[in-house]
Amino acid sequence: MGYSLRFRAAAIVLLGSMAVSSWSAVPRAAAEPASGKSAAVKPWDARKRLLEQVSAASGVPWTSLAAVDQYERTINTARKRKASAPLAGVYYTEEEWFGALNPDHSDPSARTIALFGGAGTDGSGDGLADPANDLDVLSSRVRQLTRFGTGADNWKIGVAGVYGSERAVERIAQFEKIYNHFQKLDLNDHAFPVPLKANYSYRGTWGASRGWGGHRMHEGTDIFAGYGVPARSTCYGIVEVMGWNNYGGWRIGIRDVNNLYHYFAHLSGFAKPLKPGDLVKPGQVIGWVGSSGYGKPGTSGKFPPHLHYGIYRDNGTKEWSFDPYPMLRQWEKQERTKGLKVDAVKP
């Protein structure tokens, strides 16, 4: 599905000119580094406070800012690069920040950077555009994103212009929906895909050869269990895909805020009224173990009942499978020793 002409035009304008919007810098007092007791603030709380500060200055909801910041954080992880500021996940190259023709990348003067067309701006009110300052970095990105305004449509145009792909627009919208629903940043709890009290078994089968439909690699771990054993969400996330796949049978795909796609296949049915776009929590029942797949819709019984669990990472341009077995062992151990949080299993 392609971009509209409106999106394409916005992308060209944004990439060609980094104009500064009219909203003011975050008040100096709010921008000062934490000291004393406040220095012990948990990273999640410090990040949320940063997002709320920039939200107050820009008029953009903190959940929208969180979605953008988290998207860049996941891309940094996938591309093995590091953001320059300690809290914000926003990434700029030196050329982008200081300006491609700027001969002095050690000079953080906001005026000089603006003169050379750099993206860096002063978000903290100290006259500097410091790539190591969280407020400067996040504020600079928000100025780019809100060039056409802060309304929902203009926000999408801004996202398309800055990141240049429909994939990014979709991911950021998904993350924003997740943050809007749960109203917190710490969404890293996990659950094992089936109840620990169930009779199940599994081993590392990622990478094994598969022959149905042509030679291919097995992109997951098979958890063998009886028909009707509950299949559970492993994460906080959004239902991205749900329905029939000739290989996986009845399957569900869930996207989390770490840009990981959790794939559950060979189900015998789905939990009602679950549908694409719904939000889920760790431990929430999403369906039941079955043996569907390897054929047209309704095909079942070609192999013993089991849950195929796969996990995929997105780097902004492509997605690939990696071995879920170590994570499954970790989640199983954590749940067995610590249990699940009560609020994590309610629908």
CATH 2.70.70.10 positions along the chain are: 200-344
Instruction: Give yes or no for residue 71 having a pLDDT over 80.
Output: yes
- The residues with which 335 forms a beta bridge, in sequence order, are none
Cis previous bond, 326, omega within 30: no
Return all residues near 7 (Cβ < 8 A) that are at least 6 apart.
Answer: 156, 157, 160, 161
Rg (CA), the chain: 23
As a whole number of angstroms, the distance between CA 268 and CA 291 comes to 7
Instruction: Give yes or no for residue 250 having a pLDDT over 70.
Output: yes
Write the pLDDT tens digit of every residue in 36-51: 444 577 889 999 999 9
Handedness of CA 331, 332, 338, 340 (dihedral sign): positive
Return all residues near 105 (Cβ < 8 A) that are at least 6 apart.
Answer: 94, 97, 98
Considering the chain, what percentage of its residues have pLDDT values greater than 70? 83
* CATH class held by domain 200-344: mainly beta
The one-letter code for the residue type at 250 is W
Write the CA distances from 168 to 54, 70, 216, 318, 344, integer angstroms: 21, 12, 29, 11, 28
The pair of structure tokens assigned to 135 is: 């407020």
Report the pLDDT value the prediction gives residue 8, as an integer from 0 to 100: 40
Q: Answer yes or no: pTM beyond 0.75.
A: yes
Write the pLDDT tens digit of every residue in 178-222: 999 999 999 999 999 999 999 999 998 876 766 555 556 767 899
Report the pLDDT value the prediction gives residue 34, as an integer from 0 to 100: 44
Helix (H, G, I), strand (E, B) or coil at 62: helix
Instruction: Write down the residue that tokens 């399957």 correspond to.
Output: 251
Q: Do the beta carbons of residue 308 and residue 266 sit within 8 Å?
A: yes
Instruction: Give yes or no for residue 323 having a pLDDT over 90.
Output: yes
Task: Tell me the DSSP string of 246-312.
Answer: TTTEEEEEEE-TTSEEEEEEEEEEE-TT--TT-EE-TT-EEEEEB-B-SSSTT-B-SS--EEEEEEE
Write the pLDDT tens digit of every residue in 90-142: 999 999 999 999 999 999 999 999 999 999 999 999 999 999 999 999 999 99
Report the pLDDT value the prediction gives residue 187, as an integer from 0 to 100: 96
